[in-house]
Structure 1
Amino acid sequence: MIRVIIAGATGWVGRALVAAVHEAPDLALVAAVARSAAGRDAGEVAGIGPIGVEIVPDVDAALAVQADVLVDYTKPGAVKEHALKAIAAGCHVVVGTSGLGAEDYAEIDDAAEERGIGVIAAGNFSITATLMKRFALEAAKYVPDVEIIDYAAAQKPDVPSGTARELAETLSFERQHPTSRPIDDLTGIRETRGGAIGLSTPVQVHSVRMPGYRLSCEVLFGLDDERLALRHDAGSSAAPYVGGTLLAVRKVAEKPGLRRGLDSIMD
């Protein structure tokens, strides 16, 4: 039995995960974290009725309970601290929260390697979003010019989305040198060309934040007289993220250190 903590238990994905973990025969929800609902039963908040797990206000209180995996769906400003605390406590980590960059993940990876703890982080635990990433990496072998457009609701606090950021960072190691004019050679307002993300050959990412959008990510490839577009659109339900997250919970202990993306465990 894998003992699970869910941080962000009252969020969009968190509520669905509470129900899914409670129903899974090989998983046990031992703690749930949500400051706004501290003291309430996690099952009642998730809409499945009482399950005997009281929500605690912070990760420190949750880690006082014996657990195997911390699942974090909280906020960009908190997730790194949560992950490092869990690693220090000997608890494996699954990160579903977006907003961390390559340097943050490098620090988490170092801590996890040192303690022999597994961490799986994905900008998107959806199967179809993972397939978009896989197809984009294949296309990047043949098409040098690629850019990403990231769409989300007006109030989403982090830019770009975790999906777009993870994709750009991965593509930067796979893509060829672009043929488009370097940003430094442009005149006018250079910021309109988006943000460069990636440690090797960076990818330009453009974030749209407007009402009427939920979560979408579009990867554009261009060659002379032709182009390719790959796009993932999320629906209104958290269900697509639950299956991938539970897969990560079941596999995170298999290997110490950080693994990025659901595709790192799908095969």
Structure 2
Amino acid sequence: MALRITLAGSTGWVGKALVAAIAASDDLELAGAISRSAAGQDAGEAAGLSRLGVPISASLEEALKAPSDVVIDYTKPGAVKAHALTALAQGRHVVVGTSGLSAEDYADIDAQAQQVGRGVLAAGNFSITATLLRRFALEAARYVPDVEVIDYASAKKPDTPSGTARELAELLSEARQPATSKPVAELAGVRETRGGALGAKEPVQVHSLRMPSFVLSCEAVFGADNECLVIRHDAGSSAAPYVAGTLLAARRVGSFTGLRRGLDTIMD
């Protein structure tokens, strides 16, 4: 039996690519689609494909009237937490591709997932190379305590930092040793130029740039005595790198209970 997918954000950049990939898959079925701007249209036609016979709903609640197994969310930061909690309450597993959630948001989602016995897989970036950036940076943090993150995105990206940078900084905070740089609270001048601190254990400074010509790039910059290391990921203009990782997450999210963050938690 095919795995039934409800896709929130079906007419977005990644959403359209996911509609095409699900339609072409032998083991996946598009059971529902959500897009307020395209409500009532056929999900296939709205994605530039032939008709799929799946009408686009204006809300997740409406789409969940059709039976499904997994909800994939590629919407907006202000909506994704409520979507995840609603989907879990309706007995679905959840894959979160939308960025902008805080650690507290994820804690609430995890608690709900544990309570209802469902799985949630959330990632700031579902591409394989972005996942490798995270893995290599965490390895480097074992040996080099000083690390900061630089986050690049388009001028119109609504959240800061990106999900990729936020997730990386929070994980580095848990893995790194105390920094040798002077604490921000002890600096003179304009302290905001040192960026924002993320992470509960050993906070990591994150600097976000928002300007034209960037899609999404993220750097982990490590500094040691007389040497430095920069690990960087650059995204291209196509949504294709995110599709395979998202669908891998959809296929595996039912194999565990609670929240997991990062594609690498299911890759091995």
Aligned mates of 1:138, 1:98 — CA distance in 2:
24
Q: What residue is the counterpart of 1:263 in the other structure?
A: 264
Distance in 1, matches of 2:7 and 2:213, equals 29
Give CA-to-partner distance per residue, 1:57-113, whole Å, 9 cap, x none: 010101111110000000000000000000000000000000001000000000000
What's the counterpart of residue 63 of structure 1?
64
TM-score, normalising length from structure 1? 0.99
Residue aligning to 2:243: 242
Q: 1:140 matched to which residue of 2?
A: 141
Give the deviation of 1:242 after TM superposition. 0.1
- 1:146-165 aligned within 5 A: 146-165=147-166
1:52 aligns with 2:53: yes
Query: 1-side partners of 2:24 and 2:119: how far apart?
Result: 24
The answer for the alignment partner of 2:204 in structure 1 is 203
In the alignment, what sits opposite 1:219?
A: 220
Query: What is the DSSP-based 3-state SS (H/G/I as helix, E as strand, rest coil) of the residue aligned with 2:206?
Result: strand
2:76 aligned partner: 75
| 1:26-41 matches, cutoff 5 A | 26-41=27-42
Which residue is 2:229 aligned to?
A: 228
Amino acid corresponding to residue 95 of structure 1 in structure 2: V
Structure 1: distance between partners of 2:106 and 2:201: 16
Q: TM-score, normalised by structure 2?
A: 0.99
Taking the aligned partners of 1:237 and 1:88, their CA distance within structure 2 comes to: 33
Q: Aligned partners of 1:142 and 1:34: how far apart in 2?
A: 46
- State the alpha-carbon separation in 1 of the partners of residues 60 and 170 from structure 2: 29
What secondary structure is seen at the aligned counterpart in 2 of 1:108?
helix
Q: Distance in 1 between matches of 2:172 and 2:68?
A: 35
Q: Which runs of 5+ in 1 are unaligned?
A: none
Provide the alpha-carbon RMSD of the alignment.
0.5
Q: CA deviation at 1:230?
A: 0.4
Q: Give the drift of 1:47.
A: 1.2
Q: CA deviation at 1:190?
A: 0.7
Count matched residues. 267
CA distance in 1, matches of 2:66, 2:166: 33
> Structure 2 CA distance, aligned partners of 1:77 and 1:63?
20
SS at match of 1:265: helix
Find the counterpart in structure 2 of residue 91 from structure 1.
Answer: 92
The equivalent of 2:16 in structure 1 is 15
State percent identity of aligned pairs: 66
What's the secondary structure of 1:109's corresponding residue? helix
